[in-house]
Amino acid sequence: MTTVIKAATTTTAPADEAASAVLLAGRAAQDCLTEARLSPEAVGVLINVGVYRENNTFEPAIGAMVQKEAGMNLDYLAHPVPGAAAFSFDLMNGACGVLNAIQVAQALLTTGSTERVLVTAADVHPSGRAALDADYPYADLGAALLLERSAQSEGGFGRVQLAGSQSASAVAGYLPTAGMGSTGRGRITVRQDEGFAEQLLDLAAGTTLEYAKAEGIDLHRTLVVSSRPTPDFGTHLAARLGLPAFLVLTPEVPQGRTGLPHTAAPILGYLQALEQGLPADVDQFLFVAAGAGPSVACVSYRPQEGS
């Protein structure tokens, strides 16, 4: 038994509309279920990992709001579905959130707590328009990843490894409420410490090499799908790993959009890797996410035959 990807999707808001993290995540979840040809009742758990939200919304739980948008088990009293009492929650760890969610999903699926877990990741500028704030680094972007239990023992996700550093925080997003006044709901401060890219590169490269050695992974037969905390992060990470540049993929935001992908980056990168096709002699992925903390997460994934 292993955990595999059943479907994955990304979504953006129309260019003439303000983006909403809840709506983007909900739409990505719906698209993901449509692609998998499953009804919302087929999912037992939804984990939302997005960090930045419209109007700096933090309560009530965003995962529950995404569950509502996705139409999952909206009225379990009026329309009870045996065995389909969907549960949702938020899991926030910056750029590493999707990989943390995969780790939690593996535990839920292994223990038989549910048959499928839906992971959503969406970030938007508090005003809903990232393109209007040149100092905000991230794109308005949503994504969803549907995971399920597979009866096959070969393939699927490997062990998730997490790593942190004792260094000072590299990247932080916060709202200084005393200084924002009445405009605070539409603004956010993202602080990137001097040298944060080097901190993340050191930690990402060291953790990746340690993971590959421990798991017996040949990196020259693996496509590294990395998050993209800086525009040239992938190029530098490939050099640190001793790999040709084409073996490290850092996702590009959809054409016409600005900013870097944040929590949705692993899902976006996975889809772009499938779209362009795996390089010759490459038969597995290694997801690497690096972000605030600084922290890094990595996990291997080998598609099963026929998937």
pTM metric for this prediction: 0.94
Q: Is residue 80 over pLDDT 70?
A: no
> Rounded mean pLDDT of the chain?
92
Average pLDDT over residues 50-74: 89
d(CA 307, CA 288): 22
Residue ranges of the chain that CATH labels 3.40.47.10: 2-154, 161-302
Query: Residue 276 is which amino acid?
Result: Q
d(CA 94, CA 104): 16
- Write a three-state SS string for 15-64: CCCCCCHHHHHHHHHHHHHHHHCCCHHHCCEEEECCCCCHHHCCCCCHHH
Confidence class for position 82, pLDDT limits 50, 70, 90: low
Confidence class for position 38, pLDDT limits 50, 70, 90: very high
> pLDDT tens across 185-232, in order?
888 889 888 888 999 999 999 999 999 999 999 999 999 999 999 999
d(CA 277, CA 285): 12
Task: Of 37-41, 54-58, 269-273, 288-292, give the range with the top mean pLDDT.
Answer: 269-273
> pLDDT tens across 5-33, in order?
999 999 999 988 999 999 999 999 999 99
Confidence class for position 79, pLDDT limits 50, 70, 90: low
Q: Is residue 139 over pLDDT 80?
A: yes
Q: What percent of the chain has pLDDT over 90?
A: 72
The whole-number pLDDT of residue 269 equals 98
The whole-number pLDDT of residue 216 equals 97
The whole-number pLDDT of residue 60 equals 77
On whether the 2-154 domain is CATH 3.40.50.2300, my answer is no
Q: Is residue 296 over pLDDT 70?
A: yes
Respond yes or no on whether the N-terminal peptide bond of residue 294 is cis (omega within 30° of 0).
Answer: yes
Kindly report which listed range (43-47, 58-62, 105-109, 272-276) carries the lowest average pLDDT score.
Answer: 58-62
Compute the radius of gyration of the chain from its Cα atoms.
19
d(CA 55, CA 21): 10
Closest alpha carbon to 161 in 218, 228, 99, 94: 99
The whole-number pLDDT of residue 103 equals 98
Domain spanning 161-302: which superfamily? Thiolase/Chalcone synthase (3.40.47.10)
Query: Residue 83 is which amino acid?
Result: G
The whole-number pLDDT of residue 175 equals 84
Q: Is residue 83 over pLDDT 60?
A: no
